[in-house]
Every structure is written in C-alpha cells, then in structure tokens.
Structure 1
Amino acid sequence: MLKATIALADLAFDPRWDGQAVAFGASRIEPFAHPALETLLVRTDGQWFATVRERRTEGGAPARQLDVDAAEFEQRYRECLLWPLDYAMVEAAQAGCRLKLRAGVFGALPVYARATDDRLELSWDAGDLTRAPTALDFEIASHRLALHTIYSARQIAVGIVMLTERASLSVEPGKASYHYPPPVQVTTLAQARERDAWLASFAAQLREAVDARPFVAARSALELSGGMDSATVACGLAAIAAPRSSLGILLEGETRPPQLKRRGAIVERLGLHDETVEIAARSPSLDLRPVPGQRLGFNQEYYLEACAALWDRAASLGCDRLYTGVGGDELFPDYLHELASEGDTLEAQRERTHRAQVDTLLTPRAREAARGLHSFGAPAGPVPATALAAQACRAADIARRGLWPVNPLSDPRLARFCHQLPLEQRRGRALMQRYLQQQLGEDTFPAGYRKETFEQVFPALIAAQAGMLTEQLRECALADLGLVDRRGVMALLDAVAASQARAPTAVLVSFLWMERLARQWG
C-alpha cells in the first residue's frame, strides 16, 4: 500500500505532505495512488503517524494532513488501528528516531521491508528491494520446493520481511524487531438452525462483505472463471448494484465445454459485458533466462501471462478495481475431529502425493530442512493463511496495472460465519452451492458439479518444451546452492515429459519458478 526510503536520522525532522508523499528530510513515504485509497498524516508534538487505507465511501481528498493536540492524536490513532478495512500505518517518535510499521487484517497489498543499521526500505513490490545483492533463504526455499504453503514474515530473500496481517515492525538506529499478533480463538461451531436460515444468513454476510467498500460499476471488473467462488462474488455484487464487466481465462481440454456453458449462463443471467483470454494463446513462459529490467516477486502467479492480459484488458476498459474469488477455497474447511484420521486432511494427502518426487529432486540437506517443523509461520488470523498467501502471489502484479484487488470471500467476518457452520452446511460447499442455485438456477451448479482447473496446462507445455529446458538446465543455480540434485532435476523433467502426470508436474513447476528467481539474483 506504500513505498518508502527512510534514513532513520531524518525522523528527527517534522513530516509534511508535499502533494505526492509524506516527506521529512531527504526521506519519503509514497502511498499507492489510487481512488480506492486515502492517506492521513496526523502530527502532534514530538510524534506523528501516517496511514494509507481503503476508503469506506467514494470521493473525498486523496490525502489530509492534521495538526492536533495529544488527546486528539490518541483518538485518531485508535481510530486508525480499528479501521474496518485494510491499511498500512507508519508511526514515528522523533526523539530517538524510532519508527513502527503496522498492517491491517486483509493483506490486500502487503508491504515488504528491508532494514539496515540506519536505513529502512519499504515497498508493496518485493522486486524493488532486490536491487541490492540478495541471497536465497535455504530453509524457506526447501519448504517451497516441497510445496509447503508458508505465510510468514520471513521470505525467500534473506534480510527481507513481509508485513503479515496485524503484524508490526519496529525500527530504531541499529535495531529492528518484528512482532506477530496473538492468534485468533479456536472456532466454535454454531448451534443448529433451520436450513433456510443458514442460506439467508450467508446471503446477508456476503452482502456485507461486498458492500463494505464503495462499488462503482463503471470502474469495476470481475474475474469470472465459471467456478463457484467467482460466481458467488458476481451474485453478491448483483445484490447491491448491477455489475457490468466480467473477465475470464478460457481453458482447454475436457473442462472447457462445461466452463463455457457455466460462464455463458452466469453472464446472461446477470447481464454482464464479458471479455475472455484463451490460455492457449497466453501460455506460461518456461524460459529460465532472466528478462532485463524485470524483477520477480517472492510469490509468483504461475499463469501470469494469461492473468496479465486479463488485467491489462480491465485497465483498458477504464476499470480501477478488480473483484476476485480469492478466499473461497478456505470458507468451508473440514476439521480434524470430523475426519476419519489426520491422514485424510488435504495437506496430508498432498504431502503423500508429492513426497516421492520431492525426495528425488532435493539434496539430503534440503530434504531435512523441508521435513523440519518450522516455527516462523504467522499465527492463525481472521483471514485464513492460504487465502493471504494467494493474495500475495497476485497483488503486486494487479497493482502495477492501476487496479486495486478486492477479495470479498476473504472478508474476516464472512470467514468466521462460514467456519462456524455445522458440517452438513460446509461439506462440499453445500451452502454456497445452494446460494448459487437460488440466485442463478439449479442448472448452473448442479449436484456433482466439477470444478474447472488449470492443472492440465503445464504437463503438455513442459512435454513440448522439454528440449529447451534440458538445454537451459545444463547449468542449474539451485544445484549450485546445494538445494537440488542435478540428476534428480533431469529425472523429474524426463518423467513429466513422458507421463504428463500432475503430481511430478507440480513439483517441477515449483522448481522452475525458483530456478528463474535464483538466476535473476545471480
């Protein structure tokens, strides 16, 4: 939500809003300039804070500067900490040149930080912080290569942290400390209710999540895959105003006909103006060579080429807000006590499926690092960690196009409601499916509905470009770092090219992305 280059000694100067940034000495804090956001700078004797936050209403000045007494300063400060939408906040004490950075709950556009003895760099674009020499974190890289989802302050680049939800980073000359918030309470299931009462409550909770921010139909685009999550967001928007623009990536293979049918029905029934991108025309790049001037983020959208074409189209239509279905996968979890065994969890199933391929790929040292229980992950928060991690993969690329990502299904109040549902309402997303049948007709998402997936894209693509990859992998940066075994890499590539099986493909794709990142950092 902001970028900054701060010399800690400059904190002794009085800050001012100069029309584009909060300036003090030679230092600057630049908000992400966007109609969905507002900036507030509040000053009093010896201290100040600046916050960049999502707007609750449309319009108003993009930035305000207030000079207040100590009592009003405290009041404004508490108000900003309790802001119901997303925010990033910088607070400073001029005595001692001390600074604290805080984040809100939603994680819509997370801020990354790199601190040295006398300087702090901040950016919502992690690539900005890798212009200095950057080293790969061996433990994080090992977990990522093993396909472990990690949402934490600690990132794949040594010395760079991400401000996770509700976390804070305190910095003063020669010292920096990171603080996670307390975990949220364990979910308690709600009391039994009538079937229709659950449906009405879900519709009301969804409407509140959608209506929390001003919706301007002419400037808003909706990602519409044809799946339940994006369809739910579309119906939620239709309940408050008529959405206009939808955009989607069309898949190939056996999932294409049902995807076309569902998307067509949703577009027709909600009266949307629809734009599409063919995944076959915007295939993911497998070229491992660094692109001059391009800095990869720490979390990558694997289908960036197709997504970028979609987002570029949204911007060309005059849109500045992008509504997504991110968070839908996490709304209806199964709890351990509801499963036959811990081995039935999705995480355990995934671990078993990929274990053999991961063991072939990693060196013994990296395998041990990946198998170790880590203690650096962020605590459980109001928004599920996997939803926050998914947002982090895409947010910076969306923002570079002048779009603000809005993820209603990641709303903490909606998540809390859904997590408390009894099993029969959560299992198989039963409640969401009934909501969509009510809004769109029972034929749109019938019983036995099969979710569309991108899983078929990479196997055929890798098989077709195996020769190029073999040539480029004659030198392997991750092998030089001791993370992967060269023979294991080639064996995995050969296995994917021959079988096009999904499990080894997932492991190989993760490796290819990290290999490209390691080459970029040199």
Structure 2
Amino acid sequence: MLSMRLCLADLQEPRWRTEGGRWINGESWIEPANVSALVMEVNDDRAPRVRVRVKECKREEADFVELTMEPGQACLSAGVFGTAPLYLAERAGVLHASWDLTLLRPHLRADRLVPRVVARTLTRQHRYASETLFEGVHRLTERASATFTSSGLRIHHPEPAEHVLEPRTLRPGVDPLAALDGLLTEVIRQAPTATGCVGVELSGGADSGNVALAVKAARFFEVHSFGLLMGGSVGRQQEERRRALVEHCGFHDTAIPAMQHPPFCPDGVRALCKPHDPAGAFYQEAFDVVREQAASRRCEIMFTGSGGDEINAHHSRRQAELPTPEPVPWLGDKAVRALAEVNEHLAPIPVLPVPTLMAFGMHNPGFLRAGVWPVSPLAHPRIVRFMEQLPHEHKHGKALFRERIRQAGLPEWVAAPAEPENFLTVLEKGLRSYGLPVLDDMLRESVLVDLGYLDPKALAQARDGAAAAPVIPDLLCDALALEVGLRSLM
C-alpha cells in the first residue's frame, strides 16, 4: 500500500520531510496509496532508526506493511491480510517498491521472464509465491519480510500458518447462524470510513448477498451497490435477485451490463495498450467500469464477497489435492520444460486461503488506482477460522450462507438460485469479437512465440479451430492476455 525509492546512502542521515504527499529524504521518497481509508505513520523518535507503518485508519489489527530503516539496512514486513500486493526490485543500491506493478516498468523486461511463472500463467496453474513473471521483481507475500542491504535484497518467509485441520462438533445450544451474523457484522463495523459513504459489490450470489445484509445492519451513512449483469436468461435471473437484495437493503444501485465491456473490448485497458499487469484478471475491463463508478460516487471503501467460495470449501488441509490441469496444446518447448517446476519456490501456507490472496493481487490494485479501498469481510482471519471449524453440513452448498438470506426474509430464488451467474458468455463474446484479431496479430508477431513459450503452428491450428467452433476454448484467453500485458509494458 506504499510506493518508494530507497537509496542506502540516504539512510546514513535520516532527515525525512513531507512534500506533496510524499516523505522525502535526499534522493529517497516514500508515498502511501492515495486512499482515504489508509494512514501512513512515520516514527523517527529513535533516529537514526525510522519506522514507517501503513494501516487502516480505524482498525487496530496487524499493519498491512511496515518499513524499518537504519544506517546500512532497511527491512519491509507484510501483515496477514494481503489486501494488495507489494512488488520489490533492487538495482545499484536502490530499492524500488510499489503496490502498482506498472510503476516498476524500468525493471520489467519481457526478455527476462521467469519460465515457471509463465508456465503457471499459460496453464492456469497459478501459485502464491514471491516470484513474479519478471526476473528480479519480487512480491512480498503475507507475513514475509525483505531485508535490503549493500549485499542486495533478501526475502525471508515465515513459518506456515496454523489451521484447523478438520471441522469440529458444535457444542449443544450453539447457533452457527447467529455466530456468523455477529462476526460478519462486527468485522464490517470496523470499516475504515470517515464519511460513511461505502460501496458493495453485489452480484446477486450468496457471498455478496451475505456481505450486503451485514452492511445494511452496520447502518452506514450512504451505501451504493454495484453489479455486473451477465446478460441472457441467466442475467435476467441475476438482475431479479439483485433487485430483491437492493430493495431489501435500501442501497443506491448501479448495474453495469458486462456484455458491453468484455475482455479485449475496444475501449478497455488491453485494446488501448495501457500499461497493466500481464497477470491481471480476465474481466479487468468490466471491473474497471465498476471501480470508476464507485470512485465517481465518492465511495471510500468497497465491500466485496471475495473469499466466500474458499471458506465454504470442504477438504482436509492434510489431504487437499490440486485439480488436474487442462492440457494446453499451444505451449512452446520452453513452457513445457518449465511445467516440471510449477510447484517449486512457493510461499508457506498463509493465514487466508491461497486463491483469495491471489484474487486480491489481480483485482485490488485497480481499486487503489481509483482511490477506493477494498474490504473483503469473508476473508477476515476471524471468519476464516470460524468457517474452518464449522461442520461440513453448514458449508456444503453454502448452506449457512443461504439460510442467512432466507432468515432475512428474502425468497428462495434469491437464497438458492437454480442457475447462478457466471462470466462464460461474456468471455466468449470477448474472445470471438475482439480476442481472435489479437490472436491473428500474434501469429504475425509475438513476444511469447519468440521466447519459446508458445508454439506458432499449434497456435495457428487453434485459430483455425476457433473460427468454426461453437465455443472458443477459454484457455486461449490466458495466452492472449499475457501477450497483450507484456506488450503494454515494453
């Protein structure tokens, strides 16, 4: 949640001063994300040792990032929340860092990629690790620390987080619905808002619906809801569910047709070749519109339903197995060789679910760019631990979440829809209307083909097959998005 340029030479004489929203000392500077919900505290009472903390302005829990500087050394450490990533790069005695990968563009070279990270991206075998796509650029994972000295940058990982290995039996008389309701409401009431103007991502599903009910109970001054409508028959049902929730909660609603903003659409970040993270979300174009709308309504924070799928998942932490990946026929030799390493150099088991942290890394920088702070109550450590202990029958099919919606007085078709919404139709439109021309361009010239990560003949065969196929293979989106993202940074 900060960006900085830190020169070791400046740490010898710490004379930090504020200037234009930055703390400056010689050639060094530190700047928090421009988000009203965050505060950066600088403590130089023990000079030459200086401590910088970035945290939510109201929450007294763990910091999101802490920086300690003294002559010859700087140390960064991350908290458990992982709301936004922090990327680090060191060069010639200077440490560069930012939550926005594009601000490190001088250190991002398409000809110096990490093969196993490229292979993970192309085959949808994403892993939580300090490595990024780019050599020499590191992610500070949750609870990790980084030490910067004249010897360079070293990453230190924590011990694996402890988790409840198996669900427990409820004590007699315990009401899990009341317990969830109390926890969720308490977490939401801690939201770091000064004006009380907040947003809620409201898809119409059980996760965002439960968050919406708790936001209603928290009684903020002004609440805006935002949702992407999927279109078609599924979209009509989704629209009806959203309308029922909005009317029940009394929100000011903004619905955005996702079909107007599919991947690779002409007015989106990819088509315009704006610098962006190549590993960003497929639906960045549509969610960018949501973020712009939230910012235009002066929402200080945005509550999301992220984490709901993961905390309701049923598995033993000791026996969890990753799904078998779908074959990707257009991989080049370099990517095929790197597949043997996709499970190497991973971060230790985190406090929050790994898919949730990875989703944060893809989605949340966009919120910070818009000046909005994302809050995901379902991924709060207290709720994660509560759900880990809950007997499986309360998590199967999100039973407890759905019962909470029923108990609020909403109809069954809202609590348990027959056809939940999904982005597949939006993805298909994006690929067919705008993605195939990108693929045609890649067949003429491609960074990933030149580097050996994609096979041009197999890619051409995939293009021929896609033209006649009723549905384009969605795995093509991974290759197209990575190619376009790399080009945007060159």
* Residue identity matched to 1:455: L
- Structure 1 position 235 matched with structure 2 position 213: yes
- Rounded to whole Å, the distance in 1 between the matches of 2:162 and 2:107 is 40
Q: Are residues 1:488 and 2:458 paired?
A: yes
Distance in 2 between residues matched to 1:467 and 1:377, nearest whole Å: 34
Of the three residues 245, 248, 272, the one matched with 1:266 is 245
Q: How does 1:239-254 map to 2 (within 5 A)?
A: 239-242=217-220, 244-254=223-233
Decide whether the 8 Å contact of 1:286 with 1:512 is kept in 2. no
Query: Structure 1 residues 153, 470: CA separation in 2 closer, same or farther (over 3 Å shift)?
Result: closer
Please state if 1:334 is matched with 2:314.
yes
Q: CA deviation digits over 1:411-452, x for unaligned, max 9?
A: 011011111111111111111111121124242434464321
Deviations 1:203-235 (A, max 9, x none): 112122212324567521111111111111111
Q: Aligned pair count?
A: 482
Amino acid at match of 2:366: D
Change (3 A) 1:338 1:16: closer
Q: Is the 8 A contact 2:32 2:40 kept in 1?
A: yes
Alignment correspondent of 1:157: 134
**Structure 2 counterpart of 1:299:** 279
Alignment CA distance shift 1:249-1:166 (3 Å): same
2:424, 2:346 → 1: CA distance?
Answer: 27
Which secondary structure does the structure 2 equivalent of 1:42 belong to?
Answer: strand
- Equivalent residue, structure 1, for 2:323: 348
Cα distance between partner residues in 1 of 2:278 and 2:305: 22
User: What is the alpha-carbon distance in structure 2 between the residues aligned to residue 337 and residue 178 of structure 1?
Assistant: 26
Amino acid at match of 2:27: A
Shift, 1:36, TM fit? 0.8
| Aligned position for 2:57 | 55
Query: 2-side partners of 1:284 and 1:195: how far apart?
Result: 50
Say whether the 8 Å CA contact 2:273–2:484 is kept in structure 1: no
**2:151 equivalent in structure 1:** 174
Q: Taking structure 1 as reference, are residues 98 and 216 closer, same or farther at Cα in structure 2, changes over 3 Å only?
A: closer
1:369-384 matches, within 5 Å, as 369-384=338-353
Match for 1:443: what amino acid? E
Structure 1 residue 466 displacement after superposition:
6.3
Partners of 2:197 and 2:223 in 1: how far apart?
A: 9
Distance 1:234 1:86, change over 3 A: farther
Cα pair distance change 1:210/1:496, threshold 3 Å? farther
Per the alignment, residue 60 of structure 1 pairs with none
> Percent of aligned pairs with the same residue?
27
How far off its partner does 1:298 sit? 4.5
Equivalent residues of 2:56, 2:192 under 8 A apart: no
Give deviations 1:138-190, integer Å, cap 9, x for gaps: 11101111101211110011110111111111010132210111111242422
Tell me the distance in 2 between the aligned counterparts of 1:21 and 1:368.
45
For the residue of structure 2 that corresponds to 1:456, the secondary structure is helix
1:331 Cα deviation from its structure 2 partner: 1.0
1:213-232, aligned counterparts within 5 Å? Answer: 213-215=191-193, 218-232=196-210
**CA positional deviation for 1:500:** 4.2
- The farther-off stretch of 364-373 and 48-57 is 364-373
1:514: how far off?
0.7
* Cα gap change, 1:384 to 1:475, in 2 (>3 Å): same
2:33 and 2:77 map into 1 onto residues whose CA distance is 16
Q: Which amino acid aligns with 1:118?
A: G
Name the CA shift for 1:99/1:293 in 2 (closer, same or farther; >3 Å): farther
Give the conservation status (yes or no) of the 8 Å contact 2:7–2:95.
yes
Aligned equivalents of 1:2, 1:224: Cα separation in 2: 28
Q: Which has the higher contact order (CA 8 A, sep 6+)?
A: 2
Query: Does the residue aligned with 1:156 lie in a helix, a strand or coil?
Result: coil
Alpha-carbon shift at residue 461 of structure 1 (Å): 3.2
CA distance in 2, matches of 1:379, 1:28: 31
Match of 1:385 among 343, 354, 371: 354
Q: 1:320 & 1:217 partners in 2: Cα distance?
A: 8
Instruction: Provide the residue aligned with 1:282 in structure 2.
Output: 261
After superposition, residues 123-522 of structure 1 pair within 5 angstroms as 123-132=98-107, 134=109, 135-188=112-165, 189-193=167-171, 197-215=175-193, 218-242=196-220, 244-285=223-264, 294-336=274-316, 347-348=322-323, 351=325, 354-355=326-327, 358=328, 360-447=329-416, 449-465=418-434, 468-473=437-442, 474-501=444-471, 504-505=473-474, 507-522=475-490
Aligned equivalents of 2:436, 2:37: Cα separation in 1:
46
Hey, what does 1:108 align to over in structure 2?
A: 83
Q: Is contact 2:211–2:304 with CA below 8 Å preserved after alignment? A: yes
Q: Compute the RMSD of aligned alpha carbons.
A: 2.5
SS in 2 for 1:99: strand
Tell me, yes or no, if the aligned pair for 1:153 and 1:377 is still in contact at 8 Å.
yes
In structure 1, distance between residues paired with 2:173 and 2:412: 20
Q: What's the secondary structure of 2:401's corresponding residue? A: helix
Is the deviation greater in 438-447 or in 485-494? Answer: 438-447
- Is the Cα–Cα contact under 8 Å of residues 121 and 129 in structure 1 kept in the other structure? yes
Please report the TM-score for the alignment, with normalisation by the length of structure 2. 0.92
Scaled by the length of structure 1, the TM-score of the pair is 0.86
Rate the CA distance shift 1:337–1:221 in 2: closer, same or farther, 3 A. closer
Instruction: For residue 491 of structure 1, report the CA deviation from its aligned partner.
Output: 2.3
Q: Is the 8 A contact 2:4 2:31 kept in 1?
A: yes
Give the counterpart letter for 1:294 in structure 2.
K
5+ residue gaps in structure 2? none
Structure 1 gaps of 5+ residues are: 58-82
What's the secondary structure of 2:260's corresponding residue? coil
Distance 2:269 2:370 in 1: 24
Contact (CA 8 Å) 2:17, 2:23: kept in 1 or not?
yes
Judged with a 3 Å threshold, the aligned counterparts in structure 2 of structure 1 residues 463 and 298 are, in CA distance, closer, same or farther, namely: closer
**2: distance between equivalents of 1:423 and 1:475?**
51
* CA–CA distance in structure 2, aligned partners of residues 266 and 109 of structure 1: 29
Superposed CA offset, 1:27-68 (max 9, x none): 1111123321112111204311111111126xxxxxxxxxxx
Residues 139, 370 of structure 1: 8 Å contact kept: yes
CA contact (8 A) 1:332 1:429 kept: yes
Q: Is the 8 A contact 1:282 1:305 kept in 2?
A: yes
Measure the CA separation in 2 of the matches of 1:286 and 1:218. Answer: 34
- Structure 2 letter corresponding to 1:230: S
Give the secondary structure class of the aligned counterpart of 1:231: helix
CA deviations 1:437-491 (Å, max 9, x no partner) are 1124242434464321001212233233466235312222211100111121122
- Alpha-carbon distance in 1 for matches of 2:451, 2:181: 51
